[in-house]
Structure 1
Amino acid sequence: MEPQLLHSVTDSVATVVIRHPAKRNAMTAGMWSSLPPLLDTLAADPGVRVLVLTGEGATFCAGADISTLQGSPLEAQRLAVAAEESLAAFPKPTLAALRGHCVGGGAQLAAACDLRFAEEGTRFGVTPAKLGIVYPASATRRLVSLVGPATAKYLLFSGELIDAGRALRTGLVDEVLPQGELDARVAEFTRILASRSQLTQAAAKEFANGRADRDAHWSERSRESGDTAEGVAAFLERRPPRFTWSVSTSGRSGSAT
C-alpha cells in the first residue's frame, strides 16, 4: 500500500489518517508535502468543526521515513516544519488520537495539535539526538510549552521513549484511555467540541497561542456573531444552543504559533 494521508468527514468531524503500514506510519516527503493543502481544504469546509489526526492500525506515527533524509535532510526538515506549522495554525480544534508509537516526526505532529488523547501502552519519544539532527526551533518551543523545559530537555537530550503515564503527568497528553476505549472517547469528545461555539474556540486558540493583540478583533467578531445571544437564550430556554458563527465562512482567523 502506498504511503498516504487519508481523510473523511463525518458529523462535522474531519479525520486525517496517517497510512504507511510498511514503516509504522512513518512520514515520507510526499506525506509531509500533502498535509498543508489538505488542511487548507478542511479549514475552508463549513461542514468541518473539529479535526482528528490519527494513524492507521496499531500505531500513530513512528517518525519521518529515514530513507527520505539521505538525499536532502534540510529539505526534509523544511517539509516537516511546514506541515507542523500548518497543523498548529488550523483554525478549528484539533485532537491527536494516539496509540502504539508516537515518535520523532509523529511527536512533532501530535504536539502541533490542540489536544492529545492516548491509549495505554503508547510510547512517546523526540529522537533527533539519535540522528544528529537539530530539532526545529518552532517544534522545540511547542514542546517546552507543553511539558516545561526540564522534560523537554530530557526528551531532546536523550531521545529515550516514555510511557503514556509519564506523558500524562508531564502534560504531553491530556487523557490516557484503557486499551480498546480510545476511539469511543475521541468520538464522544469531538461531538462535544462540535456542539460548542466556534467563535469561543477560535478566539481561545489565538489567545492561548499568545495573540493577545487580537483582543479587539475578537471583541468585534463577538458583537457581530450573535453567538452570545443564542447561548444565553438557549440556556434560559433549557435547550441546546445553535451557534452559527463559522471560521470557514468568516475567513482564517490568523496564524497559531
Structure 2
Amino acid sequence: MEPELLHGVTDGVATVVLHHPAKRNAMTAAMWAGLPPLLEALAADPEVRALVLTGAGGTFCAGADISTLQGSPDEAQALAVRAEDALAAFPKPTLAAVKGHCVGGGAQLAAACDLRFAEEGALFGVTPAKLGIVYPSSATRRLVALVGPAAAKYLLFSGELIDTERALRTGLVDEVLPSDALDDRVAEFTRVLVSRSRLTQAAAKEFANGRTDRDAHWAAQARAAGETAEGVAAFLERREPRFTWTTTSG
C-alpha cells in the first residue's frame, strides 16, 4: 500500500495513523507535507476534543524515509519542521501512542505531542548524528524541555536507542504499559480528556508552551463561559459537569 496518513474521529477523539508498513512507518515527503493541513482540518472540527498520533501495526515511526533525503535534505527537513510545529501548535490535547520503534523523525513527532504513552519494549532514538544532519533548533529546544539538557545531549550526541525504562525515567514518556495494554489505556485516558473543560485545557496548553501574555484573555473567557460555576455545581451535586466552552466561544 502507498504511504499515507490515515485518520478518523470517534467519540471526540481524532486518531491519526502513520501508515507506511513497508518501511516501519517512515515518513515520506508527502506524509510530512500532508500532516499540517490534516491537523488544521481536525483542529477546526468542533467534534474533536483530543488527538492521538500512532503508527500502523507494531511500530510507531522509524523516522524519515531516507530515500527522500537524497534529493534535497534541506527541503526534507523543512517539511519535517513544519509538520512538527503544526503538531505542537494543535490547540487541543495530543497524545502519542508508541509501539516498537520511535526513532528520528518519529521521536520528533512524539516529542511534539503533549503526552506520550508507550508499550513495554518500545525503543526511542534521536539519530541525526548517524547521518550528519543538524537537528532543527525547534526540535532540539522541545527535546531539552522534555528531558533536560544532559539527557538531550546523550540522545543527540550518540544517536543511541533507549528503552522504555530509561525513557520514562528521563521524562521522554509519561506512562509505560504492558504489552497489549496500550490501546485500552489510551482509550481510557482520552475519555478522561474529553470529559474535562476545554477552556482549562486550552489555557493550560498555551501557558505550558511558553505563552505568558494572555492571562487577561483567559480570565475573561472563564468569566464569560461560566465553566467554574458549572464545575463547582457538578461537584456539589455529585454529577458529571457539562462544560460547554469551545475554541469558537471567544
Q: Which runs of 4+ in 1 moved over 3 A?
A: none
What residue in structure 2 maps to residue 225 of structure 1? 225
What residue in structure 2 maps to residue 211 of structure 1? 211
**TM-score using structure 1 length:** 0.96
**Over aligned residues, Cα RMSD in angstroms?**
0.7
Cα offsets for 1:23-72 (capped at 9, x unmatched): 00000000000000000000011100000000000000000000000000
Distance 1:54 1:250 in 2: 30
Q: Return the offset for 1:184.
A: 0.2
What residue in structure 2 maps to residue 163 of structure 1? 163
**Alignment of structure 1 residues 21-170 onto 2, 5 Å:** 21-170=21-170
Distance 1:86 1:225 in 2: 27
Q: Return the offset for 1:250.
A: 3.6
Q: Return the offset for 1:233.
A: 1.1
User: Match of 2:210, as an amino acid?
Assistant: G
What residue in structure 2 maps to residue 175 of structure 1? 175
Cα offsets for 1:178-207 (capped at 9, x unmatched): 000000000000000000000000000011
Distance 1:122 1:217 in 2: 41
Q: Return the offset for 1:224.
A: 1.1
Distance 1:146 1:161 in 2: 17
What residue in structure 1 maps to residue 11 of structure 2? 11
Range with bigger deviation, 230-239 or 92-101: 230-239
SS at match of 1:212: coil
What residue in structure 2 maps to residue 255 of structure 1? none
User: Match of 1:148, as an amino acid?
Assistant: G
Distance 1:66 1:214 in 2: 41
User: Match of 1:225, as an amino acid?
Assistant: A
SS at match of 2:214: helix
Q: Return the offset for 1:208.
A: 0.6
Distance 1:168 1:196 in 2: 25
Q: Higher relative contact order by CA 8 Å / sep ≥ 6: 1 or 2?
A: 1
SS at match of 2:148: helix
Distance 2:227 2:34 in 1: 34
Range with bigger deviation, 48-57 or 219-228: 219-228
Change (3 A) 1:250 1:76: farther
**TM-score using structure 2 length:** 0.99
User: Match of 1:226, as an amino acid?
Assistant: G
Distance 1:223 1:75 in 2: 45
SS at match of 1:75: helix
Cα offsets for 1:139-185 (capped at 9, x unmatched): 00000000000000000000000000000000000000000000000
User: Match of 2:221, as an amino acid?
Assistant: R
Distance 1:10 1:193 in 2: 13
Distance 1:214 1:157 in 2: 37
User: Match of 2:53, as an amino acid?
Assistant: L
Distance 1:11 1:101 in 2: 28
Work out the percentage of aligned pairs sharing the same amino acid: 82
Listed as ranges, the gaps of 5+ residues in structure 1 are 252-257
Aligned residues: 250
User: Match of 2:152, as an amino acid?
Assistant: A
Cα offsets for 1:71-118 (capped at 9, x unmatched): 000000000000000000000000000010000000000000000000
Distance 1:225 1:42 in 2: 23
